[in-house]
Amino acid sequence: MGYDLERFVGYVNEGLLCSICRDVLEDPLQAPCEHAFCTACIHGWLVHHSNCPEDRQVIDVSLLRPLYRYMKNDLNRLQLHCRNREYGCEMVCSLESIDRHERECEYSQIPCSNAGCTVQIERRNLDGHLAVCEFRSRECPNGCGYTILSAEDTQHNCVAELRTELELLRSEMICRVEEAKHEMESRLDSQRRHMVQKESILQNEIEELKSQMSRMMSDVRSLMAAERQHRQELEQAELEKREL
């Protein structure tokens, strides 16, 4: 939808009006037949039609183009009232700068920033409203450190709040301790399994070393027996030599 024609000061050229809503063009697009439309208006029209609403020539979204520069300049120079005129704003500015003004306008209706409050208030009166808003929050004056809503002043009990907080902290601490316990048990189990595996490997290595030692001792005994046999044979040969 376009800008309400009643907001504008002075004469507005017919060529700057949307061919669909007949208000002043907002975010304009132009068809090949040179008829201009608000972007929202022509897109909505083309959902159900495939032609220009003025001369019925066939058009498509892909054929729409931005407004000619001279027309865009004429559009931007138009003077209009702020939309908050009914609330007291007397500002008149160009169409090119109206959005920037209205974002900052002191007469704009904005929501209260306090959670739970549904009041819409003029920007210029916001500070005054916040000072008395029943949903405003502040720190407990008794020093417990809690932030409370003004509407809860009579129900606020420091001892009860601190007790609740303590219970929450205790529950959280228990959960953390349990998590740490489970984590340590998991690590110990992992280390235990690792140690068992290492012990099994070492035991196997020890058995292998014992087997090797046993074979070596057997070989040594065989060598010693062979050496004794050899000595006996040498002694026998020496005796025979002497006898000869």
Q: What is the pLDDT of residue 120?
A: 87
Task: Confirm whether 132 is domain-assigned.
Answer: yes
If asked whether residues 41 and 82 sit together in one domain, one would say yes
pLDDT tens-digit map of 13-28: 999 999 899 999 999 9
> Taking the alpha carbons of 18, 21, 26, 27 in that order, is the dihedral positive or negative?
negative
Residue 244 lies in a domain: no
For residue 2, report the phi and psi dihedrals to the nearest 5 degrees. -90, -170
Give the domain range for residue 41: 5-104
**Is there a single domain that holds both residue 120 and residue 78?**
no
Residues 14 and 93 grouped into a single domain: yes
User: Does residue 202 lie within any of the structural domains?
Assistant: no
**Confidence band for 57, pLDDT divided at 50, 70 and 90:** very high
Among 129, 122, 42, 40, smallest CA distance to 82 is for 122
Helix (H, G, I), strand (E, B) or coil at 19: coil
Is 113 found in the same domain as 98?
A: no
Same domain (yes/no): 72, 141: no
How many domains in the chain? 2
CATH number of the domain where residue 28 is located: 3.30.40.10
Mark whether 15 and 99 lie in a shared domain: yes
Percent of the chain with pLDDT over 90: 42
86 and 142 housed in the same domain: no
Q: Do residues 74 and 139 share a domain?
A: no
pLDDT tens column, 79-108 = 999 999 998 999 999 999 999 999 999 999
